[in-house]
Amino acid sequence: MRPHKHPSADQLTLERIFHALSDPIRLEIVLHLARVETATCGELDGDRPKSSMSHHFRILRDAGLVHTRAEGTIHQNSLRLTDLNARFPGLMDAILAQAMNGGTSGAKPKRKR
């Protein structure tokens, strides 16, 4: 696959990150990855066309949020938390905490505990 290009940590910008997270599908992907650590593209499509998902993954990669490595025919995705925390300490913690607590539009009003 000629390994995907990922921006280096110091190339990340908040604008790109915010743009990547402004789409419900992508926010869902990020949220899922925050829970399971690593997942293939196929595990994350919600019955959506592969080409659409590939598009969203590319934006997440370009924003530096997600790292994709090919293992055979499947691609393992994971959040680049180490790089993100190095570049923007505390940011992802805050974002993920709020996203998991029902801050997203698309979905489940999650009850507190």
Residues that bind DNA (CB under 7 A): 1-2, 4, 19, 23, 25, 40-43, 48-59, 68, 70, 72-75
Considering only 4, 16, 58, 69, the residue that binds a copy of itself (CB under 8 A) is: 16
In the complex, the smallest distance separating the C-beta of residue 109 from a copy of itself, rounded to whole angstroms, is 10
DSSP string, the chain: --------GGG--HHHHHHHHTSHHHHHHHHHHHHHSEEEHHHH-SS--HHHHHHHHHHHHHTTSEEEEEETTEEEEEE-HHHHHHHSTTHHHHHHHHHHTT--SSS------
Residues engaged in binding a copy of itself (CB under 8 A): 12-16, 18-19, 21-24, 27, 87-91, 93-95, 97-99, 103-106
